[in-house]
Structure 1
Amino acid sequence: MSKAEASLERLLKVFTKPESKDSRLAKIEQQLSDNVADFLSQHVVSRSTSLEHIEQDFNAWQIPEEPEFVSTHAQTILDNLVANSVNTYSPHFIGHMTSALPYFHLSLAKLLVGLNQNLVKIETSKAFTPLERQVLGMMHQLVYDQPEDFYQQHLHSAQYSLGTFCSGGTIANITALWVARNKALAADGQFRGVAKEGLAAGLQHYGYRKLAILSSKRGHYSLSKSVDLLGLGREQFVTLDNASQRLSPEKALKWGQDYQSQGNKLLAIVGIAGTTETGHIDPLDELADVAKELGCSFHVDAAWGGATLFSKAHRHILKGIEKADSVTIDAHKQMYVPMGAGMVLFKNPSDSNAVRHHAQYILRAGSKDLGSTSIEGSRNGMAMMVHASLHILGRQGYELLVDQSMQKARQFAELIKQHPEFELTTEPTLCLLTYRLRPSSIQRRLASAEESTSINPILDELTVSVQKQQREAGKSFVSRTRLEIDRYAGQPITVFRVVLANPLTTEEHLKEILEEQLTIASTSKHWLAFEEDAKAS
């Protein structure tokens, strides 16, 4: 085989669109597309290849000195990368918030890469800028439902922003709390604001000892990152215990009053609309009132649960979200858009001005450039994917998907309840639930508080072992987490965690997953020991 050369002529070919569908590059492109399609059509979640073995394919740390043919590298990608990826399309993949996508996104992804727009500035995105603003407007209306003249005034305004599009919920949450901090320590008299003078000067001017953010114990880890990045300190991300998996408004109010009586300032209460571990929703309506009483910002992290607003039958469970100063929603979760599509929405369109930045060469004052109010600078036009889904699926399409997922979760919960060897540990609020293996041979013993304290750690080991073996086998996948459960007096236990958002998953698939877990567990030393103890008693 001939050797690839580093020449300007060859490089030019790599940057040039193939002239014919029969050209070599076009054939390589088709091969890659066909291979991905074949991979996604398989029901296997992943190969049973160990991560250590896969790492051997990526052990070189030197940049290749000489080029190689596109066809050669394409084959390497297929053999080493695609073949060992996780098939998130599989109906047996129910362990995380990543799911099958509408197939039109594969074609749109090619368009997105081909256009290579940069949304930091209109000069590098043009039509993508008003498109993104339209998407933010549509999602703002879904949450806040303002009158028509509100959106006519603010949708494409250079002075206001209905929100910020970003790569995901982490950046969205950080942006929301960044805005909250800058508003709380805004310019006042001789003080030019925290954005210019810094946190220490802001605290001194306003007479605060510390600033804190309050959430439930189920709050996302991005909130801890936020207080770190904003200079508040990780100890100022305060979480309250919640065996019910929800933040108590009464506890939040009392804690906030005590904290502020010590010369501190509660910056924000963060309500969770769909916790990542259990899918629970905080009492948003009551928490909004608590935030108002305490004089702090109210942010809702609806990265997961925000899509519930599409459902007329279920949107009531997010009652109070419209009172939030800001809301995070991830389109790459329950809106079935590829990874990298999140947003934060602001009730007050002027709030984003608290973090507005300008630069003479790119983000000039008075422009409509989106980069002036976002943490990220250069980023692609992922809003196009959301725009496409909102039009191709429509609200009614999303409603069907949300309703189906929630119904599926309830069906799975019933399967678990009816199975003598399993225990449902949290009921589904949305389409997440948790459960664990609970051998019928020990059910009576678990009813004893004393015995459950000693048995639960053994069941924890069993859960971890089964989850790992099921994952490594590659046929199906559920995740695991640790929770405090009321029925066990708040004792933390390890549980299986499932997310039933994949529309391709059926009840039969769920039965197969339970059966596989039971098969794995029944040969374990813990299971056999439980059975022996039951026979002896």
Structure 2
Amino acid sequence: EELDRALRTRAADELPIAVVATAGTTDYGSIDPLPQLAAIARDHGVHLHVDAAYGGGALFSERMRPLLDGIEHADSITIDLHKTAWQPAAASALLLRDRAGFAATTGLRVAYLNPEDDGEAGYDGLLGHSLQTTRRADALKVAATFLALGREGVGAMLDACHDLARHAARAVSAHPRLDLTTEPVLTTVVFRYRPRTTTEPAAVEAINGALRRRLLREGSALIGRTETAGAVQLKLTLLNPQARASDIDEMLAAVDAAGGAEEAEEEHHHA
């Protein structure tokens, strides 16, 4: 409703470039209501772009694919295959509904890279379409992965990570000292440590931040961190399909122990 209102009430000299929907936010894996946004964008004649950098991998999974219903109506999509297909960091893709969208060119031609007569004969490079002249052949690695594993194989790896996230969420919910912030959608789990000795907000935030640094100093675990409305949140980004539920349990136990150690240190300091 808010998007539709914004488009209907815009000033005559305001031209929206695009409606940008997110499919898989970095922290929670949240996915915007794609079918409804597509309908609104279509009604107003506005380009719909879907940022599926993280969530796009759900398309490889039979289980998670329904989360992206409506993405087929997008005019353009971005997906980062290094996030959910185990590819090099530069292996991202921009997909356009209309091939003509790729027709734009910088017009750059250099005699030693893409001479005009070579281009006319079909032997052209990508210099005219990019400012990046030197690049790795990451597309070859993507092709090799899908030739070797197929969509089903990559999807099974993603499902294994999704299983880990669901196990982690259950374990956090059952733990007396941990609070689950929200149910996981994809493969991230966001939670907090609840101290035994204090409920004072500033102290709770300080302990959650400090326990993570303690684990780093010890070399025990690398726990992610984010914030929601100023509250420190701990975060697991689970993208190793070979990890086991027992690894998650050990990591949560380490979080609990580090939190307890931070509380004891704080008490000793005040004493």
* Counterpart-to-counterpart distance in 2, 1:528 and 1:419: 23
- Deviation per residue, 1:65-105 (Å, 9 max, x gap): xxxxxxxxxxxxxxxxxxxxxxxxxxxxxxxxxxxxxxxxx
Q: Specify every segment of 5 or more residues in structure 2 that has no aligned partner in the other structure, as ranges.
A: none
* 1:265 equivalent in alignment to 2:15: yes
In structure 2, which of residues 227, 232, 242 is the aligned counterpart of residue 494 of structure 1? 232
Q: Distance in 1 between matches of 2:92 and 2:68?
A: 19
**In the TM superposition, what whole-angstrom CA distance separates every residue of 1:117-150 from its partner, at most 9, and x where no partner exists?**
xxxxxxxxxxxxxxxxxxxxxxxxxxxxxxxxxx
- The residue number in structure 2 matching 1:337 is 87
Q: Distance in 2 between matches of 1:265 and 1:481?
A: 34
Question: Taking structure 1 as reference, are residues 527 and 291 closer, same or farther at Cα in structure 2, changes over 3 Å only?
Answer: farther
- Indicate yes or no: 2:134 matched with 1:386: no
Q: Give the length in aligned residue pairs.
A: 262
Q: 1:287–1:526: structure 2 CA closer, same or farther, 3 Å change rule?
A: farther
Distance in 1 (CA, whole Å) between partners of 2:101 and 2:25 is 26
Q: Give 1:292 deviation, angstroms.
A: 2.1
The one-letter amino acid paired with 2:249 is K
Of 59, 69, 76, which residue of structure 2 is paired with 1:309?
A: 59
Question: Which TM-score applies when normalising by structure 2?
Answer: 0.88
The one of 140, 155, 168 aligned to 1:399:
155
- Hey, what does 1:452 align to over in structure 2? none
Pair 1:294 & 2:50 matched? no
* Alpha-carbon shift at residue 289 of structure 1 (Å): 1.8
Q: CA deviation at 1:340?
A: 2.0
**CA-based RMSD:** 2.2
Tell me, in whole angstroms, the C-alpha distance in 1 between the residues paired with 2:226 and 2:248. Answer: 19
Alignment of 1:72-83 (within 5 A): none
**Residue 479 of structure 1: aligned partner:** 224
Amino acid at match of 1:459: V
Preserved contact between residue 521 and residue 527 of structure 1 (Cα < 8 Å): no
What secondary structure is seen at the aligned counterpart in 2 of 1:396? helix
Q: Which amino acid in the other structure matches residue 70 of structure 2?
A: G
State the Cα deviation string for residues 383-407 of structure 1 (Å, max 9, x = none): 1111110111111111211111111
- Whole-angstrom CA distance in 2 between matches of 1:340 and 1:326: 19
Distance 1:465 1:270 in 2: 36
| Residues 420 and 440 in structure 1, CA contact (< 8 A), matched pair in contact too | no
Q: Is the 8 A contact 2:215 2:221 kept in 1?
A: yes
Do the aligned partners of 1:479 and 1:497 also contact (CA within 8 Å) in 2?
yes
1:253 correspondence with 2:9:
no
Q: Distance in 2 between matches of 1:323 and 1:432?
A: 26
For residues 345 and 257 of structure 1, the distance between their equivalents in structure 2, rounded to whole angstroms, comes to 28
Q: Normalising by the residue count of structure 1, what TM-score does the alignment of the two structures yield?
A: 0.46
Matches within 5 A, 1:512-527: 512-525=250-263
Give the gaps of 5 or more residues in structure 1: 1-249, 446-454, 485-491, 533-537
Residue 306 of structure 1, CA deviation: 1.1
Render the CA deviation track for 1:282-324: whole Å, top value 9, x for unaligned.
1122112222233322111111111110112211101111111
- Secondary structure at the aligned position of 2:103 is classed as helix
| TM alignment of 1:32-71, pairs within 5 A | none
Task: Indicate yes or no: 2:102 matched with 1:352.
Answer: yes
Q: Distance in 1 between matches of 2:172 and 2:197?
A: 16
Determine the structure 1 residue equivalent to 2:201. 456
Distance apart, 1:441 and its partner CA: 6.0
- Give 1:332 shift: 1.4
| In structure 2, distance between residues paired with 1:522 and 1:358 | 61
Equivalent residue, structure 2, for 1:510:
248
Of all paired residues, the percent bearing the same amino acid is 29
- Taking the aligned partners of 2:110 and 2:263, their CA distance within structure 1 comes to 68
Distance 2:50 2:105 in 1: 19
**Secondary structure of the residue that 1:522 maps to in structure 2?**
helix
For 2:131 and 2:170, locate their aligned partners in 1 and report how far apart those are by CA, in whole Å: 44
| Paired residues of 2:192 and 2:233 also in contact (CA < 8 A) | yes
**Structure 2 CA distance for aligned equivalents of residues 329 and 271 of structure 1:** 13
SS in 2 for 1:278: coil
Give the letter for the 2:201 counterpart.
N
Letter in 2 for 1:412: A
Alpha-carbon offset, residue 506 of structure 1: 1.1
| CA deviation after TM superposition for structure 1 residue 472, in Å | 2.4
- Between structure 1 and structure 2, the one with the greater Rg is 1
Instruction: Give the alignment of 1:156-175 within 5 angstroms.
Output: none
Cα–Cα, structure 1 residues 330 and 461, in superposed 2: closer, same or farther, change >3 Å? same
1:95-110 equivalent positions in 2, closer than 5 A: none
Matched position secondary structure for 1:393: helix
Hey, what's the Cα distance between the residues in 2 that align with 1:498 and 1:388?
29
Indicate how the Cα distance of structure 1 residues 527 and 294 shifts in structure 2: closer, same or farther if over 3 A, else same.
farther
Q: Which residue of 2 aligns with 1:202?
A: none
